[in-house]
């Protein structure tokens, strides 16, 4: 039972990622999205392999249990899509100004405005 729930969760991850790509990514940012996606999966592959190699993470339920100890859903869709959304939709400047809103870092700009 629990196994089925987990497998359905993995399917849900695929579904959510693909539908949100279709609806959230604007057409003008499609190329940026694709390049970010591919770079993120390339970096994420090495990171996940090293995490599993040094026993920091384990994926007991995975798609290809004989072929690999990695979870292919996380490697192929989940981490790339999440990191791409953070790159495309979150502006670092906006986050920083929110984080330092009471400090003196952005005070000068606020005065100028």
User: Under the rule (CB under 8 A), what is the footprint of another protein?
Assistant: 28, 30-31, 34-35, 38-39, 41-42, 45-46, 49, 52-53, 63-70, 72, 75-76
Of the two residues 32 and 106, which places its CB atom closer to another protein in the complex?
Answer: 32
Q: From the CB of 37, what's the least distance to another protein, in Å?
A: 8
3-class secondary-structure state, position 105: coil
Q: From the CB of 7, what's the least distance to another protein, in Å?
A: 16
Q: From the CB of 15, what's the least distance to another protein, in Å?
A: 18
Which residues, at least 6 apart from 106, have a Cβ–Cβ distance to it below 8 Å?
96, 97, 100
Q: What phi-psi label fits residue 24: left (phi over 0), alpha (psi between -120 and 50 degrees) or beta? A: alpha
Of the two residues 15 and 64, which places its CB atom closer to another protein in the complex?
Answer: 64
Whether 34 and 24 have beta carbons less than 8 Å apart is answered as no
- φ/ψ of residue 21, rounded to 5: -60, -45
Distance (Å, whole) CA 32 – CA 34: 6
DSSP one-letter code for 27: G
Q: From the CB of 5, what's the least distance to another protein, in Å?
A: 23
Of the two residues 11 and 35, which places its CB atom closer to another protein in the complex?
Answer: 35
Of the two residues 52 and 106, which places its CB atom closer to another protein in the complex?
Answer: 52
């Amino acid at each position: 039972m629990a196994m089925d729930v987990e497998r359905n969760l993995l399917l849900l991850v695929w579904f959510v990622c693909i539908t949100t790509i279709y609806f959230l990514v604007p057409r003008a940012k499609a190329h940026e999205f694709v390049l970010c996606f591919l770079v993120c999966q390339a970096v994420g592959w090495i990171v996940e392999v090293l995490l599993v190699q040094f026993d920091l993470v384990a994926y007991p339920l995975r798609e290809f249990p004989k072929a690999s100890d990695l979870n292919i859903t996380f490697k192929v869709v989940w981490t790339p899509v999440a990191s791409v959304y953070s790159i495309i939709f979150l502006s670092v400047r906006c986050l920083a100004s929110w984080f330092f809103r009471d400090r003196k870092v952005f005070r000068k700009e606020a005065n100028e405005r």
